[in-house]
Amino acid sequence: MGKSGVGLCLAFGATALIALSAPSTGGPMKFSLTSPSFIDGGTIPIQYTCKGTDISPPLQWTNQPAETRSFALVVDDPDAPNGTWVHWVVYDIPDAVHEFPEDIPKQDKLPKGGVQGVNDFNQVGYGGPCPPPGAPHRYYFRLYALDSALNLKPRMSKAQLLESVHRHNLGEATLMGRFSR
């Protein structure tokens, strides 16, 4: 049995009686970040990498804390040879936005709200996975629920963004994908 149910099996001669309880629904749902293109821990499809068209993947998020007023997103690779490599920085995403479509434009301000920072390719917007040949790298998509808009100027770095995020963070949802060349 899984941790959400309880099972009981009693054997009576040749007959077995199995009683199962329904899964527990206790407590609020967890703040989560998903993609319709890959599962958590799965392989990031090639079109979202430097071997493909290098466009951003679609993302969806649900169950943010009730006090959320904006979101911030950071995507990075902790397995990069010279330390963590930043692939995407987005902030001041309005609380009414709960998804990004595929191929977010590489521009300072987004059409439905949100501002993009600079990645470690020294570009605005998404720069997909592009590890050296070898073992797969892990790419963490971290979405922060914030208690206010940060009102930061475009082109902030991950470090600059996180200074503000830590003061306003209500919760974090993470999606991890893998890619190798």
How crowded is the C-beta side of 166, counted as CA atoms within 13 Å? 6
Asked if residue 7 has pLDDT above 60, the reply is no
| Mean pLDDT, all residues of the chain | 89
Of 35, 34, 142, 168, the closest CA to residue 90 belongs to: 142
- Output the pTM of the full model: 0.84
The encoded tokens of residue 85 equal 């490599």
Cβ neighbours of residue 31 under 8 Å, at least 6 residues apart? 61, 62, 63, 64, 65, 145, 171, 172, 173
Among candidate residues 73, 95, 96, 74, the one with its CA nearest the CA of residue 86: 74
Place of tokens 């998404």: 126
Q: Which residue is listed with tokens 């993470």?
A: 174
Rounded Cα distance, 178 and 139, in Å: 6
* Residue 159 to residue 54: CA distance in whole angstroms: 24
For tokens 């290098």, what's the residue?
54
CATH architecture of the region 26-179? Alpha-Beta Complex (3.90)
- What pLDDT shows up at residue 29? 81
pLDDT 10s digits, 130-156: 999 999 999 999 999 999 999 999 999
Residue 18 has pLDDT above 50, yes or no: no
**117, two tokens:** 């920072």
Residue 36: both structure tokens together = 């319709």
